[in-house]
Structure 1
Amino acid sequence: MGSRRERYREIAEVLSVNGLGFVVSALGLSGRFPFRRMPRREDGRAYTRPELVRRALEQLGPAFVKLGQILSTRPDLLPPPYVRELKALQDRVEPIPAAQVMAAIAEELGSTAVFDRLESQPLASASIGQAHAAVLDGQDVVVKVRRPGVVETVNEDLEILENLAEMATRRWDFARDNDATGLVREFAQTLRQELDYLAEARNAERFAANFAGHPDVHIPVVHWETTTSRVLTLERIRGIKIDDVDALAAAGIDRAELARRAGAVLCTMVFEHGFFHADPHPGNFFVEEDGALGVIDFGMVGTLDEDLKERLGDILVAIVAGDTSHATDALLRLNQSSGPVNRAALKQDVSVLIERFSGHTLADFPVSALINDILGTLRRHRLHLPNDLAMLFKMLLMAEGLGKALDPDFQLASVLAPFTRRLVLQRYSPEALRRRLGRIAQELRQAGTDAPRLVQGLLDLIERGGPQLTLDPAETERQRSRDQQTANRLVAGMLTAAFINVAGGVVATTTGRAAVLRGPVATASAGAAGLLGGYLLRTARRRRR
């Protein structure tokens, strides 16, 4: 218990020393520690606020460093100066002594002798673990070893972070409006996955399976016989780092073509596989001798399921079409925050955003500018993206930056165009329509389940003598008209679903002599569904206006 108190003291002191006393006050820890002067840079200049935040996180150790690194991937939460500064976070840890590395490997694998050779000097060292070169069965491999005691340290800090987030939410409007407790829980889940090397190994295997038919993409093989939750053994990837422009030029590699190819690989991960590398910095990509693109480090990944793809498509369609109301609703459907939202103000900002990008098509959108404008709008209105979508936006920004470093004329939109076109077209596929109708049916079932309880509650309220209502006859008539339109749309939607179901069933099951009816029946059903669908679209536009 004493160590826990000391850790709270250390956190408060580090924050105070780095000029973040207002955070200490918000956490309810103020008044317990002496005031210290804010540090200054070696050149005598005062640190900026983002620099002070980075320094504090570095001084607080592995869990806080990882918190900062993950926050650097969330430009929907932090302004650009903080995102840029947190990207510079370094683990700044001493390498694990060789004796401890060997002891950890022996404890997990039985002996270090399973390797033909194991280098004692690390290739890289970080707060979670470090990597060593080795040879296994005659093959070059990389062995990642988790730092001893790091799980216990990180878990204790995560508990403290969860407690601090809860205290901040009760004391600080900013923390409450931005759902600090939910963000910390999300961060804790991400970090605990990074602590488990089995999870990273499974990620690597999934990428390898996804790119099995792509000889120009090389994912390292996992050596499962020497892999555990604490030790990960992967095939060693060798080649030219993708941002080493001098080496690329010496090897005669076309940088413009490489930029397009790397962008296409990342887009394939997202839009075809729905499973993507969420940290595509240059150190994780190599150009191998045969020209293949080698990819490493699978601790941070994102997924894009069909529902998220559909919602992303909604935003793209609305922006390209200049539909402010639809774009506003699409952003609100993505929001993960529980705080209040001023829809009118949000709609005004979305209108400005759409006006700024009017005239662009999916093939020539300035991707980084559009994403940054969307993220700025989200920040101003304290809207939070789903974590996977936030990682996707960050990945796309990094991908365009990487492409431009290779080729100043690179435009990610030209690589994205065929993928986004398919994404938009998928919104109108029978499968997408079936999912939408399924959601509508589920909402109707839930409404039917809730109706008796709500009606009973209303009757109880009336029996108690309230509330007193005054009805405006003109407004009542307008509401009756709106209700009639809603009922008409509901019936049309149900009939549309029925006709689609009939058409699909006829095409799938009609055989033998009755097969001659397949074409006419399917055509008639599809035509009826199209007419009713057109009615739904027309009335939806009328309602938005």
Structure 2
Amino acid sequence: MEELGPTFIKLGQVLSTRPDIVPPEYLGELSKLQSEAPQVPAQTIRSLIAQELGASPEELFKNFSDTPLASASIGQAHAATLHDGTAVVVKVRRPGVVAQVQEDLEILSNLAKQAGRNWAALADFNLEAITTDFAATLRAELDYLQEGSNAERFARNFANDSSIHIPKIFWETTTSRILTIERIYGHKIDDAEILALPAIERNALAELAAKAAVKMIFEDGFFHADPHPGNLFVESTDCIALIDFGMAGEVGDELQAQLSNLLLAFSFNDPDRIARALLELSINRPATDRVHLRQDVLRFMKLYQGRQLGQIEISPLITQLLSILRNHHLQMPGEMAMLTKMIFMTEGMGVRLDPAFSLGTVIKPYAGKIALSRVLPRNLRRSLFQWGIEAADLGANLPEKLRRLLDVLDDGIEVHLRSDELAPMMTRAERIGNRLVAGMIVAAFIRGLGELTAADRERLNTWQNALVAGGVGAVTALGGYLAWTAKAQRR
């Protein structure tokens, strides 16, 4: 994947967070994928800036460093200073990367379609949808205007939180190919200087980052999808800065409600609730054996019996839940791929800072908040209002739906069968028909015999032995025939 370039590196990074698709032995290898790339020559970078912004770096900036701060698979970052003295980072998209990514995405799309059609084992994974979601995310990451918009949205969401610093975007020198953003100073969250801090300070930093992540999911519905240690800087023991907003994900109202239901189900330790929440979370609704699903959930819960949410590692828990989804052919929403990746990264970073860190401890209070929020008057009014709209919409559309149903019934219902499906049905129908005919003949024989007996007992005495012999023979023949046809049917 590293040799194939940026598209496949990103794909591998996403797959490394999909335990519902990828076996465990591959997850660890895929998680090692890095986005480092050879440096683009300084002259090429300068030429791209001049072409895109209409002026040389010397005219646009007070200072511009030719030595890159970082060189990734999609872009290269250079330090610079604005004319007012503000320190910034200028990210320049690598030349030719868009064409390469577009070509790779077409290849992936074709492979997904072919695999989905020709490999029955992949039918439950909806590869085309996964590829489409991945392509949309990667295309957004190629557009620095989108990254700038993401950064400003995060800044609005954390405007009242002084513990999270979101850098400012400078739009005068930003285009789809170039991004100018406030430079962040500090230590990366996994630098030796941070790991050498006292345990209490490292735990506080881990909780700070985790609280920001949980807020993004359950409050904002908009999250940083790539919170690896290189994108988090410690400015002080009570302030963390985020960078690199190209990969962001959204949690819609419906998905947010489904995740909240799952969280509440865990808080109540209720297997039925968990099973229902998993079914609600899946985007497909196959003929699931709910009894079997509940049994799997019960076995899963026994692994965590006697432990509160704050005492549980979240990443293994999610991995096991996704395994249950896979075993029951239930598919996750596309947004869950990035969301799972974000949760895994957040917990992994927290444990590295402090081995005693528990993401569950941070998540647990949200279960109470969610339960309380559902009974608040304003939320009850909103729910009732939404139900009223849906009921009114159903009532308004009901006559039209009924008319369409009647039209279909008037026109008749067509049932299409393939010849290979029809032959066994016809064979079975013939067997059933033969048995019915045999039964009717015997019934007629018995009825005739009864009528003859009632009409003339003297004649019956004359033919008694012959009739008994004939009756026994007929019953024996019928019994043999029924046994033979039943055996043939079982075959």
**Normalising TM by the smaller chain, what interval?**
0.7 to 0.9
Find the counterpart in structure 1 of residue 18 from structure 2. 74
Distance 1:281 1:117 in 2: 29
Residue identity matched to 1:458: L
Distance 2:261 2:229 in 1: 32
1:199 and 2:146 matched: yes
Q: Sort the Cα spacing of 1:65 and 1:445 in 2 relative to 1 into closer, same or farther, 3 A.
A: farther
CA shift for structure 1 position 197: 0.5
1:244 and 2:188 matched: no
Partner of residue 181 from structure 1, selected from 128, 145, 149: 128
CA shift for structure 1 position 370: 2.3
Please report the TM-score for the alignment, with normalisation by the length of structure 1. 0.69
Please report the TM-score for the alignment, with normalisation by the length of structure 2. 0.76
Find the counterpart in structure 1 of residue 402 from structure 2. 451
Counterparts of 1:521-536 in structure 2 under 5 Å? none
CA shift for structure 1 position 434: 4.0
Q: Sort the Cα spacing of 1:389 and 1:247 in 2 relative to 1 into closer, same or farther, 3 A.
A: closer
Counterparts of 1:290-305 in structure 2 under 5 Å? 291-305=238-252
Find the counterpart in structure 2 of residue 265 from structure 1. 212
Distance 2:6 2:414 in 1: 60
Find the counterpart in structure 2 of residue 41 from structure 1. none
Answer yes or no: is the 8 Å Cα contact 2:124–2:331 preserved in 1.
no
Distance 1:247 1:170 in 2: 50
Residue identity matched to 1:60: L
The CA deviation string for residues 418-447 of structure 1, in whole angstroms up to 9 with x for no partner, is: 223212333444034544554565556655
The CA deviation string for residues 163-194 of structure 1, in whole angstroms up to 9 with x for no partner, is: 22212222111333211111111111111101
The CA deviation string for residues 13-54 of structure 1, in whole angstroms up to 9 with x for no partner, is: xxxxxxxxxxxxxxxxxxxxxxxxxxxxxxxxxxxxxxxxxx
Answer yes or no: is the 8 Å Cα contact 2:164–2:239 preserved in 1.
yes
Structure 1's unaligned 5+ residue stretches are 1-56, 465-545
1:104 and 2:59 matched: no
Answer yes or no: is the 8 Å Cα contact 1:284–1:295 preserved in 2.
yes
Answer yes or no: is the 8 Å Cα contact 1:240–1:287 preserved in 2.
yes
The CA deviation string for residues 82-115 of structure 1, in whole angstroms up to 9 with x for no partner, is: 2222121134532111111111111111122201
Q: Determine helix, strand or coil for the equivalent of 2:176.
A: coil
Q: Determine helix, strand or coil for the equivalent of 1:254.
A: helix
141-150 or 371-380: bigger deviation: 371-380
Counterparts of 1:491-530 in structure 2 under 5 Å? none
Find the counterpart in structure 1 of residue 428 from structure 2. none
Answer yes or no: is the 8 Å Cα contact 1:143–1:233 preserved in 2.
yes
Answer yes or no: is the 8 Å Cα contact 1:124–1:131 preserved in 2.
yes
The CA deviation string for residues 252-295 of structure 1, in whole angstroms up to 9 with x for no partner, is: 98112222222222222222222111111111111115742111
Distance 1:251 1:118 in 2: 38
Partner of residue 108 from structure 2, selected from 147, 161, 165: 161
1:136 and 2:87 matched: no
Q: Determine helix, strand or coil for the equivalent of 2:300.
A: helix
Find the counterpart in structure 2 of residue 88 from structure 1. 32
Partner of residue 126 from structure 1, selected from 60, 69, 72: 72
Find the counterpart in structure 2 of residue 378 from structure 1. 325
Q: Determine helix, strand or coil for the equivalent of 1:288.
A: strand
Answer yes or no: is the 8 Å Cα contact 2:199–2:354 preserved in 1.
no
Residue identity matched to 1:221: K
Find the counterpart in structure 1 of residue 463 from structure 2. none
The CA deviation string for residues 392-425 of structure 1, in whole angstroms up to 9 with x for no partner, is: 2332222222222112221222222222321233
105-114 or 318-327: bigger deviation: 318-327
Residue identity matched to 1:451: L
Answer yes or no: is the 8 Å Cα contact 1:319–1:354 preserved in 2.
no
203-212 or 367-376: bigger deviation: 367-376
Residue identity matched to 1:249: A
355-364 or 158-167: bigger deviation: 355-364
Q: How many residues align?
A: 408
CA shift for structure 1 position 81: 2.6
Counterparts of 1:225-236 in structure 2 under 5 Å? 225-236=172-183
Find the counterpart in structure 2 of residue 522 from structure 1. none
Q: Determine helix, strand or coil for the equivalent of 2:355.
A: coil
The CA deviation string for residues 347-393 of structure 1, in whole angstroms up to 9 with x for no partner, is: 33223223433444455444333222212212333433223333223
Find the counterpart in structure 1 of residue 433 from structure 2. none
Q: Sort the Cα spacing of 1:70 and 1:351 in 2 relative to 1 into closer, same or farther, 3 A.
A: same
Distance 2:117 2:286 in 1: 14
Answer yes or no: is the 8 Å Cα contact 1:334–1:385 preserved in 2.
yes
Partner of residue 114 from structure 1, selected from 60, 81, 84: 60
Find the counterpart in structure 2 of residue 60 from structure 1. 4
Q: Determine helix, strand or coil for the equivalent of 1:58.
A: coil
Answer yes or no: is the 8 Å Cα contact 2:14–2:341 preserved in 1.
no
CA radius of gyration, larger in: 2
CA shift for structure 1 position 452: 2.6
Partner of residue 279 from structure 2, selected from 332, 341, 352: 332
Answer yes or no: is the 8 Å Cα contact 1:259–1:407 preserved in 2.
yes
Answer yes or no: is the 8 Å Cα contact 1:309–1:423 preserved in 2.
no
Q: Determine helix, strand or coil for the equivalent of 1:209.
A: helix
453-462 or 219-228: bigger deviation: 453-462
Q: Sort the Cα spacing of 1:252 and 1:461 in 2 relative to 1 into closer, same or farther, 3 A.
A: closer
Answer yes or no: is the 8 Å Cα contact 1:162–1:184 preserved in 2.
yes
Distance 2:166 2:315 in 1: 28
Distance 2:42 2:201 in 1: 41
Residue identity matched to 1:195: L
CA shift for structure 1 position 460: 4.2
Structure 2's unaligned 5+ residue stretches are 416-491
Residue identity matched to 2:345: M
Q: Sort the Cα spacing of 1:397 and 1:61 in 2 relative to 1 into closer, same or farther, 3 A.
A: closer
RMSD: 2.7
Residue identity matched to 2:14: I
Find the counterpart in structure 2 of residue 390 from structure 1. 337
247-256 or 383-392: bigger deviation: 247-256
Distance 1:153 1:130 in 2: 16
Find the counterpart in structure 2 of residue 279 from structure 1. 226
Q: Sort the Cα spacing of 1:313 and 1:247 in 2 relative to 1 into closer, same or farther, 3 A.
A: closer
Question: Sequence identity, in percent?
Answer: 47
Q: Determine helix, strand or coil for the equivalent of 1:233.
A: strand
Q: Sort the Cα spacing of 1:117 and 1:463 in 2 relative to 1 into closer, same or farther, 3 A.
A: closer
Q: Sort the Cα spacing of 1:460 and 1:289 in 2 relative to 1 into closer, same or farther, 3 A.
A: closer
433-442 or 117-126: bigger deviation: 433-442
